Structure 1
Amino acid sequence: MNSGGYGIAFLGMGLMGQPMAARLCKAGYKLTVWNRSAEKAQPLKDVGAEVAIEPYLAIQGAEYIMLCLTNGDAVEEVIFGNGGLYGSLYAGQTIIDFSSISPHTTRAIAGQLLTERHVNWVDAPVSGGVKGAVSGTLVIMAGGEAEHINAARPVLSHLSQKVTYMGAVGAGQAAKLCNQLIVSTNMLAIAEAMALGRAQGVNVDSLPDAFAGGFADSVPLQIFGPRMACQQHEPILGAIDIMRKDVNTIEQALKDQDIAFPLLVAVKALYEKASVNGLGPADLSALMKLYI
């Protein structure tokens, strides 16, 4: 008997999805997984999950359908595309989307699925990186009906230290945009501070420890600061292009707002420069290469 008495489908075995799905499998849930590149699902098969060859086959008998996909296009393709979920969804299922996509796309998809398939939607983007996914200490910003989020809390507790209700569908994604504005800016500030320290003759290896507990401290500093100091970019804990995608999503969400966001403009320009310089697929620690 599985931990919750029902099945879970988990679609997307990337850097975050794979360890998240593994935690659910090890917690005893009956888990079926799918990934576009089938080899990435193999580690889940090794810990007891079933592997589906098409998205729609993964959701048979699943009360919860969890998505952890690259972007909004990927989410739409998995739901509405060839072999997608749409025709196999049934009333009462709940989709929990851990992907980071735009609030507008989230509301559009959720509205259509609720009207046409009577399927519930919870947007539940996460923060905490690969380390948090492995340890189950992610933080989740959840949008949707409070009753659906509360019902899912026992499952989500295996993945996160905290689930915060942010409001109606789309509010979780909007909160994630706020999160990513802070994180994307912080990553560049860390890289620039490391470059400043090096230029001034500081032993930059010591900076993260020196700042620990002070106002400049942060989780990204403690994870990526040492990697920047020694120019360690493997394994990839978060790709520059993924952060660039999130920065672009923030910009799109603000296009109709009559508010200036000068910091966002500067941050976007630097991530674009990193991508143009061939750093897009590299780890976020490679932002140091903008300065050396």
Structure 2
Amino acid sequence: MKVAFLGTGLMGLPMAQRLLEANVEVIAYNRTPEKLEPLKAAGAEVVTRPYQAISAAECSILMLSNAAAIYSVLLSDRSWQSVAGRSIIQMGTITPTESKEIRDAVVAAGGEYIEAPVLGSTPEVKDGKLIVMVGAHQEQYQRHLELFQHFSPEPLLVGPVGTAAALKLALNQLIASMTTAFALSVGFAQRQGVSVDLFMYILRQSALYAPTFDKKLQRMLDSNYANPNFSTKHLMKDIDLFIDEAKSTSLNLSGVEGVRDIIDTAMKMSLSDADYSSIFSAINSSTDGA
């Protein structure tokens, strides 16, 4: 099987590299050609136009930043004509509404569409331990299962297109809200003269504990947000997607809107490209380094 990989950013690059390591033929495209050099060195075929990748492969994986980027790639040059008879697998984070609209367009062009967003970051990619959530028909899921297993030990069929996209947004909302709540509690403990070590000792013994707290704690205490696995700006994008999609429900969104305000503050502090644990600085700027 030859797989087209479109989008080789922070997550896309190691995902494509993992396919190459498994001896899967990869033909890669990126809107920034320089980002393809590591894949070319690893044996991937690289192209300068998306249609060249799509037409040359049985299936195309899209790991692009948003729906606008997906449309830009699929509609550019002769890409749309290349979709006929091909499988388009969308693995980025977009809304359920956007995913269904892209599915309808791909099907109308004669292709098939599957959504398969992932939970995890670059360490999980390299270990093959991403959580892959698939929105597709059972037959489509089974036909592409071997491909998904390069990224995850147990790819999960969630339901039809839209359900996996919704699940991914629900989980990313939780990432933002949990990290914000944790940062606030750490900052409060510091300001009250409570040892962070003691706070964490109690927290780790309780039902409140989540492993992500320890993953982000030292970054927060050191104000070290370099080399992110997931940036503040990408978390902001996902929260905006969640809020936009959830507005059609009867849910009370005041809590996540408050979280969004804090992430926005971090963005205004020039922390857009920093690790999202920079939320701590947006909440506790006067206690940084304490």
Distance 1:131 1:230 in 2: 21
Residue number in structure 2 paired with 1:3: none
- Corresponding residue for residue 284 of structure 1: 276
Residues 254, 271 of structure 1: alpha-carbon distance in 2 compared, 3 angstrom cutoff: same
Distance 1:243 1:258, change over 3 A: same
**Aligned-residue RMSD, C-alpha:** 1.9
C-alpha distance 162-103 of structure 1, shift in aligned 2 (>3 A): same
TM-score scaled to structure 2, two decimals? 0.91
* Residue identity in the other structure for 1:279: L
Contact 2:236/2:263 (CA < 8 Å) preserved in 1? Answer: yes
User: Counterpart amino acid of 1:45?
Assistant: K
Match of 2:92 among 99, 102, 106: 99
Q: Which runs of 5+ in 2 are unaligned?
A: 286-290
Tell me, yes or no, if the aligned pair for 1:11 and 1:34 is still in contact at 8 Å: yes
Q: Equivalents in 1 of 2:280, 2:97: separation in Å?
A: 33
Q: Which residue of 1 aligns with 2:101?
A: 108
Does the alignment pair 1:47 with 2:39?
Answer: no
CA distance in 2, matches of 1:289, 1:207: 19
After the TM superposition, which parts of structure 1 deviate over 6 Å for at least 4 consecutive aligned residues? none
SS of residue matched to 1:160:
coil
- Greater shift, 275-284 or 6-15, is seen at 275-284
Return the letter of the residue paired with 1:189: A
Give the distance between the partners of 2:78 and 2:58, measured in 1 at CA.
17
- Shift in CA distance, 203/40, structure 1 to aligned 2, threshold 3 Å: farther
The reply on whether 1:239 has 2:234 as its aligned counterpart is no
**1:171, CA displacement in angstroms?**
1.1
Q: 1:180 aligns with which of 172, 179, 201?
A: 172
One-letter amino acid of the structure 1 residue matched with residue 80 of structure 2: Y
Change in CA separation of 1:257 and 1:288 when aligned onto 2, cut-off 3 Å: same
Using the aligned pairs only, state the percent identity: 27
Opposite residue 26 of structure 2, the aligned amino acid is L
8 Å contact kept, 1:68–1:98: yes
One-letter amino acid of the counterpart of residue 89, structure 1: V
Q: Does 1:140 align with 2:140?
A: no
Residue 160 of structure 1: aligned partner: 152
* Map of 1:251 onto structure 2: 243
Superposition deviation, residue 139 in structure 1: 0.4
How big is the shift at 1:163? 1.5
